[in-house]
Amino acid sequence: MGRVLEVGIVLGLWHSLSAIVFSWVFFSMETSVNMCFTQKNPNIPPPISPYMKRQPVYVSVCDGVYPVSEDTLLMLSCVEVEPGERALEMGCGAGLVGIHMALCGAEVVMADVDPVAAECARKNAADAGVDAVVVESDLFENIDGVFDVIVFNPPYLPGAGGDQRLDGGEGGIEVADRFLMDAPRHLKDCGRVYLLLSSLSDIAALRERHHGWVWELVGEKRLFFETLYVYRLRLSVDGEGEKTNTRSVLPG
């Protein structure tokens, strides 16, 4: 157990360092994140090429808040939301994905257990000019209502020294497990969940525990020490099985 914890802490430190370096390069190059483009929003200019159907938006990196990283951008490339849908970004951090969904025309709620992260997301949303409700909440504790889309990039590293931004507990799936236990009560009929997981996590155990969902792999990104996966989940109907088809993801 001690050896597992030791490895988890090392992975957590490396993950934090790589996220900081990625964030520093990302923002020091004055590169903006490409956000949602929709023909229905007259305030968003038309694309200049088929591959630039998005609006550039900047977000602030806040001290102590999980920064925009490879996993954030992978999730951003996978999430699909329609104007008028109600969307929740759980564990929002700086709020980038929630801002993206708001720019797509969704009614957005963002939540984080860390009050500093919640305030950071609130500021970034205001700076981006989008309306979003930001709530301090331990998962669904302070969340009301139901949603068409729920997005969660949980802490997924096994035994990362108790850092709530990274530590997914035993197998790296304890937080995701709690999330999936409560998510059905907050999901509309035919709603979908986007969940990001890592090859360092015990994904097989999580899927076995939550076999009442249809799991569809919609994106993945290989890094040199792990592979990141984004699954789109919806509650299964009798006779449905798991889906394994994938679609291409934007380069991160």
**Spatial separation of the C-alpha atoms in residues 185 and 149, rounded to whole Å:** 13
pLDDT lower than 50: segments of the chain: 1-14, 16-17, 19-34, 36-53, 239, 241-252
pLDDT of 117 reads 95
pLDDT for the residue numbered 27: 41
In angstroms, the CA 61 to CA 44 distance is 24
SS3 114: coil
Q: Calculate the CA dihedral of residues 66, 186, 184, 142 and round it to 10 degrees.
A: 60
Supply the pTM of this predicted model. Answer: 0.77
Q: Domains in the chain, start-ordered, CATH in brackets?
A: 2-235 (3.40.50.150)
CA distance linking residue 113 with residue 92, whole number of Å: 9
- How far is residue 83's CA from residue 222's CA, in Å, rounded to a whole number? 31
Between β-strands 213-222 and 227-235, what pairing exists: parallel, antiparallel or unpaired? antiparallel
pLDDT digits (tens, 9 = 90+) for 185-229: 999 999 999 999 999 999 999 999 999 999 999 999 999 889 999
pLDDT score for 87: 98
Give me the torsion for CA of 243, 244, 245, 250, rounded to 10°.
120
Q: Which helix (H) or strand (E) holds 84?
A: none
The span from the CA of 108 to the CA of 130, in Å, is 9
Q: Are 172 and 157 in contact (CB under 8 A)?
A: yes
Report CA torsion sign: 61, 65, 69, 75.
Answer: negative
Amino acid 84: pLDDT: 94
pLDDT at 237: 77
- Three-state SS string over 181-235 comes to HHHHHHEEEEEEEEEEEECCCCHHHHHHHCCCEEEEEEEEEECCCCEEEEEEEEE
List the structure tokens of 92.
Answer: 């929002």
Cα-trace Rg, the chain: 17
